[in-house]
Amino acid sequence: MAALGAPVCTLRALLRELRHAGGRRYRDSPAYRHVLAAFRAHRVTSEKLCRAQQELHFQAATYLCLLRSVREHEALHREYHGKGERSPEEVAGLVGFRLPRQPGGKG
C-alpha cells in the first residue's frame, strides 16, 4: 500500500467509495455514519492529542483499498467473464471467420 496521505483525503475517498457501493441513499447507511463518527472522535484538537489517530487513519486507508479493489474486481469480472456457451457462428465471428454455406440453401 502506498504512503498515507492526509486524513481528510482518505476520508473523502472512503466516502466516495461508499457512495459507489451504496448507490443513491448512501448517507443513510450505517457504514457512512460509522466512518464519520470515527473520524470525528479521533481528530486532534487543542485540548488533547489522540494517539489512535494514526491507527484509525491506517485502518481507513486499508478499508479504502479493500473497497476500491472489490469495485475494480467486479468491473473486470463483468467485462471478461464468459457469457456461457456460444454457437459456432458466434465463435467464428469473434475470430474473424465466416462459416461456409452449404449448397442447396441448407446453411
List, for residues 28-47, the tens digit of each pLDDT value.
Answer: 888 889 988 988 887 766 55
Predicted confidence at residue 74, as pLDDT, reads 92
Closest CA to 39 of 71, 20, 14, 17: 14
Range 40-66 average pLDDT? 77
Higher pLDDT, 12 or 3: 12
Contacts (Cβ under 8 Å, ≥6 apart) of 15:
32, 35, 36
* pLDDT, mean over the chain: 82
What is the C-alpha separation between 27 and 62, in angstroms, rounded?
Answer: 21
Taking 90 as the threshold, does the pLDDT of residue 51 lie above it? no
Is the CB of residue 20 less than 8 Å from the CB of residue 71?
A: yes
Taking 70 as the threshold, does the pLDDT of residue 107 lie above it? no
Confidence of residue 75 (pLDDT cuts 50, 70, 90): very high
Closest CA to 9 of 39, 33, 52: 39
Rounded to the nearest 5 degrees, what angle is found at the Cα of 61, between the Cα atoms of 56 and 64?
125
pTM equals 0.62
